C-alpha cells in the first residue's frame, strides 16, 4: 500500500515572502521601544515639582543642541540627583515621547 500523508507541501511565491518580511520589519521597528526615543547630554537646568518629580529638565547634547523636557510620574531620577549630575558634568540619557509641542520624559538613566 502506498504511503499517503495528510500534510501538504505549501510553497510560497517570492513576492509573498518579501511582503511578509516587510510587514514584520515594520511591526518590529514601530513597536520596538514603547518608552520613546532617547537623547544623551549634560544637565543644564532642573525645576523641581516635588522631592521625587521635576517640572522641567533641560539638557545640552554633544552637538550643543538644547533639549527641554517636561516631567510626569517619577522617571528614575529625583531632581536632587539630576542636580548632582549637573554639578559634576555627568551626562544623562533621557527617553521621551512627543505630546504635541512637548517632550515628556518616560525614563532617565546615567549617560
What's the pLDDT band for 18 if we cut at 50, 70, 90?
very low
**For residue 3, pLDDT beyond 60:** no
CATH at residue 54 = 2.40.50.320
4 falls within a domain: no
> Contact at 8 Å (CB) between 74 and 82?
no
3-state secondary structure of 9: coil
Q: What is the DSSP letter of 78?
A: -
> How many domains is the chain partitioned into structurally?
1
What would the pLDDT profile of 57-78 be if each residue is shown by its tens digit? 999 999 999 999 999 788 889 9
Q: What is the domain range of residue 99?
A: 37-110
First vs last Cα of the chain: how many Å apart?
70
Residues 6+ apart with CB under 8 A from 5: none
Has residue 43 been placed in a domain? Answer: yes
Mean pLDDT of 27-51: 77
Q: What is the DSSP letter of 72?
A: -
Q: How sure is the predictor about 29, in pLDDT bands with cuts at 50, 70 and 90?
A: very low
Amino acid at each position: 500500500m502506498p504511503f499517503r500523508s495528510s500534510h501538504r507541501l505549501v510553497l510560497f511565491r517570492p513576492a509573498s515572502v518579501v511582503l511578509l518580511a516587510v510587514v514584520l520589519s515594520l511591526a518590529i521597528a514601530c513597536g520596538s521601544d514603547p518608552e520613546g526615543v532617547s537623547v544623551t547630554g549634560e544637565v543644564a537646568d532642573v525645576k523641581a515639582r516635588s522631592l521625587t518629580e521635576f517640572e522641567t529638565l533641560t539638557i545640552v547634547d554633544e552637538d550643543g543642541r538644547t533639549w527641554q523636557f517636561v516631567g510626569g510620574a517619577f522617571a528614575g531620577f529625583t531632581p536632587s540627583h539630576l542636580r548632582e549630575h549637573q554639578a559634576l558634568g555627568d551626562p544623562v540619557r533621557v527617553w521621551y515621547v512627543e505630546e504635541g509641542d512637548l517632550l515628556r520624559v518616560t525614563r532617565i538613566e546615567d549617560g
